[in-house]
Amino acid sequence: MKKPLVYTERWAKDTSFSIDIKTHIHHEKSPFQTIDFYDSETFGRFFTLDGLMMVNEKDEFIYHDMISHVPMAVNPDIKRVLIIGGGDGGTAREIARYSHIESIDMVEIDERVVRLSEQFLPQTASTLSNDSRIHLHFKDGVEFVQNTPENTYDLILVDSTDPIGPGEGLFTEAFYKNCYKSLNAKGILINQHESPYFERDKIQMVRAHQRIKSTFPIAKVYQFNMPTYPSGHWLFGFASKHYDPINHHQKDVWESFGLYTKYYNSNLHEAAFQLPTYVLEALNHDA
C-alpha cells in the first residue's frame, strides 16, 4: 500500500502534530516566506507559511470570530479598522459583516499570500475583492503604522505570523507605540498573542504582554481553543486607551446586530478573559 503524504509541524522539541495529505496543491517561495497549500480529509484545505499552520477550512472560524467580534462587542460604534497581516482574508471577512463599518485598511507584507488565498481558499479570501470598503496595501505593517497620522483608527487588528521572519517587528514595543498613536482616544488594539503552553510560545506571550502593558493603560489577554495551533490553547491581546473588555461589554447592542457566529457568543466573551492560574502567573512575570 502507498504510504500517505504527511504534513508534520514541530510543536515542541520532542512533540509534533501531523495531518495526512490528500494533495499538495501548491508550493512556492515568496520574497518573504515559503507558502504551501494542501488538501486533507479532516481539516479540508489549509495553508502553511514557513512550515507553520496558518488557516484551514475546519477551524478558521474560531480564530476569525475571536479576533473580530470581541472588540466589536466592546465598542459597537467602530467604523475605521486597520488589519495588519491577515492575508488569508478571514479577519476582513468577519469585520465586513458589520454594515456600519466605513473602511477596512488591510496591510499585508506578502501579496502572494492574498493572491494564493483568493485562488485556493475562497472560504476566507473571497470578500477581499468583493467589498469596496476593503483597501489592500502590500506593505510592511511596521512601517505603515509609523507613517499613519495620529487618531486615524477605531480598531487595529494584528493578524500576524509568529515573531520570526517578517512578523518579528509586529511584536516590538516601537510597533505597539505606533499603534497607540494611530488609534483615536477610544481605540482598541487586538493582537495575535501566542500561547501559554509550550516554552517557545510562552516566552513570546510574556514578552508581548509586557510590551503592550507598558504602552496601553488597559492590557488584557483572552483565550480560545484552536485545535491546529500548538497545544490548541491560543491567546489574543486586548489593549485600549479607554475600554475595559468586560466592564464595557455591550452585549445587547452586539446582539441587536443579529450576526450568527459559530464560536463567539456573549457569555463566551466574558468567560474568555478568565485565565488559568499558570497563565496569570506567567503574564505577571518578566520573560
By the criterion CB under 6 A, which residues form the site for ligand SAM?
A: 32, 49, 54-55, 63, 84-88, 107-110, 113, 140-142, 159-161, 166-167, 169-170, 192
Closest separation in Å from C-beta 107 to ligand SAM: 5
Identify which of residues 116 and 188 has a Cβ nearer to ligand SAM in the complex: 116
Beta-sheet strand order (sheet of 34-40): 23-29, 34-40, 44-49, 52-56
- Which candidate, 110, 278, 82, places its Cα nearest to that of 199? 278
244 forms beta bridges with none
Residue nearest ligand SAM (C-beta atom): 85
Residue with cell 503604522: 145
Identify which of residues 49 and 96 has a Cβ nearer to ligand SAM in the complex: 49
Identify which of residues 160 and 215 has a Cβ nearer to ligand SAM in the complex: 160
> Residue 198: helix, strand or coil by DSSP?
coil
Closest separation in Å from C-beta 41 to ligand SAM: 22
Alpha carbons 271 and 105: distance in angstroms, whole number: 30
Closest separation in Å from C-beta 140 to ligand SAM: 5
Closest separation in Å from C-beta 68 to ligand SAM: 12
Active site residue 252: no
Q: Which of 65, 105, 140, 159 is catalytic?
A: 159
Closest separation in Å from C-beta 3 to ligand SAM: 28
> Residue 272: helix, strand or coil by DSSP?
coil
Closest separation in Å from C-beta 143 to ligand SAM: 8
Q: Which three cell numbers stand for residue 162?
A: 509568529
> Residue 157: helix, strand or coil by DSSP?
strand
- Which candidate, 99, 125, 67, 93, places its Cα nearest to that of 263? 67
52 forms beta bridges with 49
Inter-residue contact 41 to 20 (CB < 8 Å): yes
Residue with cell 477581499: 128
Residue-wise burial string across 49-74, b where 16 or more C-beta atoms lie within 10 A, e elsewhere: bbebbbbbeebbbbbbbbbbbbbbbb
Identify which of residues 113 and 206 has a Cβ nearer to ligand SAM in the complex: 113
Identify which of residues 55 and 155 has a Cβ nearer to ligand SAM in the complex: 55
Q: For residue 153, what is the enclosing H or E element?
A: strand 153-159
Identify which of residues 81 and 170 has a Cβ nearer to ligand SAM in the complex: 170
**What residues contact residue 23 under an 8 Å CB cut-off, 6+ apart?**
38, 39
Inter-residue contact 100 to 75 (CB < 8 Å): no
Active-site amino acid positions: 159
